[in-house]
A and B are shown apart, each in its own frame.
Chain A
C-alpha cells in the first residue's frame, strides 16, 4: 500500500522542546516508534566568539561568563585559567580553592536543577517541586557568598574577588548537611519507585563503545562506563590538592544517568567539606599584565555537563585574536538523534533531558535584529537605561 511508504514527521520545538530552552528536532515516526531524527540549533546563538575579538581580556571575562546561565562560573574559570597560562602567572592557592568550592556549588545547583527537569519530563512533578525547593537552599548559599544567584562573578584573571569567611563557611556546611540528607532520599526514590523506573530503566541505553564513538562527555559518558572527568584526568584549580573520586556506572540507560548525577552530588558535598576544612591561607589575587603574551593555549575544565574546552589565541595585544568555545552539550547533543532511533516517541523528551542539554551554551553566537520600534531596544538605549537605572533615575 502507498500509505506504508509515507513518512510521518513530528516536529518538536523550537519553542521549549522538553525543557525551557529553544532547539528544533524533527522525528520521523512509524506509529509510535522513531525511525529517524534531525536537529537544528542556533536559536540562542549570540555571536559571542566573534564578539570576544573586539573586547579586551577583562571585558571578555564578563562576556564569557554570560554564555550560560547555569554554569556561568565554569566558563569564566576555563577562560581565566587559560589566560593565566598564557600570561605565565597562576592564581594563589587560596584563590584556586575558592574557585573549586564555587565550581562544586555550581555543580550541585546544576545537578539538582537537572534532577527536577528530568523528573518533570517523566511526569513526576512531586520530585520536580522538591528538588527545586532544595536547590533554593543552594542558591541562597551562592547569593550569600557572591552576592548573586546566577552570574556569581567569582573569578578575576589572576584570582578571585572574594574570600570565604567563617560565617559563610558555616552557612555552606549547614546547607550541605540538609542537602545530603535530601539527596540520599532522592537516590532511594529514583532507584526504587516502580512507576518512575518504567520511564528510565532500559530507556535510551548507550553502551560504552557507542559513548566513545559519539564522543560523549561528562555524567552522560560516565553513566555508560566511560572514565572521563577533567577534574581527575587533568586537574586544574585546587583539584590536584583535593582529588575527586570518579563516579561511574556501566548500564548506560536513563536510570544510570540519574544514579551518576546523584552520586556526583554526594561527591561534591564531600569535596566542598574537605576543601573548607583544609583551606590554604594566603592572597586572593596575582598580578596579571593588561597585554597578554603572544601564544595559544587550551584550557579544559569539567563543567556540570562535562568537559568544557577553550582554545585561546593571543596576538600580544589587549584583545584576544581568537577564542573558541566547545561546550559539553555540543558533544552530547549529537547522541540525541542517534539514540532516539528505535525508541518510543513518548520517551524522546526524557532522552533529550537525559543529556542535560544546555542550549545557550551550545549556541553562543547569533543575530540581534535592531530597530527602535518600541519592542526592540538598540544597544545604546539599553546601555543608557542601565546607566540611568543604577544612578537611581530610571
Chain B
C-alpha cells in the first residue's frame, strides 16, 4: 500500500470521530478527535490493522491557550497518522488506551509524570523516569513549570 492510499484508508477508519483533519506534510495525516472517542479511534486503527503506535507526544500549548494537546502517532511504512486530542490545562484528562493497546503504558506513564495529564484507567501510576521523591505537582515539561536549582540546570 503506498503512502497516499494508507493515509486515505486511515482517514476512512477514523471518519466517524473526526472533528478536523489536515495533511501537514505529504506523508502525514493529522486527525483531531475528542478525548471521549480516543479508545474507539485507537480500536478502529488496530482492527483495521493500520500500522503501529510509534509514540505519544504531550504538548503544552501555553498558559494563554489554556490547553494541552496529546498526540498519538501511528506509523505504517512511510505514512504517519497522528490522532490529536485536546484537553483543558486546568482539568487535563485523557483515557488510557492500554485496554486496547497494552504497549502504550510506558508512553502514558511518561505523559502523566512529565506533563501532568491525568490518564484515567492507567494501571500503574508510579514514576517511570522521575525520582520517587520528585515534588508532587511539579510537571517538568509544562511551559510554566518552576523547577528548583537542584531540579534542573537552565
Q: A residues touching B (Cβ–Cβ < 8 Å)?
A: 40-42, 45, 47, 49-51, 54, 85, 212-215, 228, 233-234, 295-298, 300, 307, 309, 311, 313, 322, 324, 326, 330-331, 333-334, 363-370, 379
Asked if residues B73 and A367 are in contact (CB atoms below 8 Å), the reply is no
Given contacts A300-B75, A330-B106, A379-B153, contact A295 B24 (CB under 8 A): yes
Check if B57 sits within 8 Å of A324, measured CB to CB.
yes
Asked if B91 lies at the interface with its beta carbon under 8 angstroms from chain A, I say no
A45 touches B24 (CB 8 A): no
On B, residues with C-beta under 8 Å from A are 24-25, 27-28, 52-55, 57-60, 71, 73, 75, 77-78, 80, 82, 102-103, 105-107, 114, 126-131, 134, 140-141, 145, 149-154
The 5 closest A-B pairs by CB, nearest first: A234-B78, A326-B55, A42-B129, A215-B103, A324-B57
**Pairwise interchain contact A370-B57, C-beta atoms closer than 8 A:** no
9 chain-A/chain-B pairs, Cβ below 8 angstroms: A40-B128, A42-B130, A212-B52, A297-B24, A298-B25, A298-B80, A330-B55, A367-B130, A370-B150
Known: A45-B129, A50-B140, A366-B129. A233 touches B52 (CB 8 A): no
Residue among A42, A364, A379 facing the most chain B CB atoms (10 A cut-off): A42
- Once A40-B128, A50-B140, A213-B103 are accepted as A-B contacts, the answer to whether A297 and B59 lie under 8 Å apart by CB is no
Q: How far is the CB of B60 from chain A (nearest CB, A)?
A: 8
Query: Is the beta-carbon distance between A42 and B127 smaller than 8 angstroms?
Result: yes
> Which of A49, A233, A326 contacts B78 (CB under 8 A)?
A233
Main secondary structure of the interface of A (DSSP, over half): mixed
Return B146 CB to nearest CB of chain A, in Å: 12
Contact A367 B52 (CB under 8 A): no
A47/B149 in contact, CB under 8 A:
no
With A50-B141, A212-B52, A296-B24 already in contact, 5 other A-B pairs whose C-beta atoms are closer than 8 Å = A45-B130, A234-B27, A298-B25, A309-B75, A370-B149
Measured between C-beta atoms, what is the minimum distance from A175 to chain B in Å? 33
| Contacting pair A311 B52 (CB below 8 A) | no
Q: Given that A298-B28, A311-B71 are known contacts, is A322 also in contact with B154, CB under 8 Å in the complex?
A: no
Residues of B within 8 A of A300 (CB): 54, 75, 80
The smallest C-beta distance from B57 to any residue of chain A, in angstroms, reads: 4
Q: Is the CB of B131 within 8 A of A367?
A: yes
Query: Closest chain A residue to B59 by CB distance?
Result: A322
Q: Which A-chain residue is minimally distant from B28 (CB atoms)?
A: A298
Once A368-B153, A370-B149 are accepted as A-B contacts, the answer to whether A42 and B25 lie under 8 Å apart by CB is: no
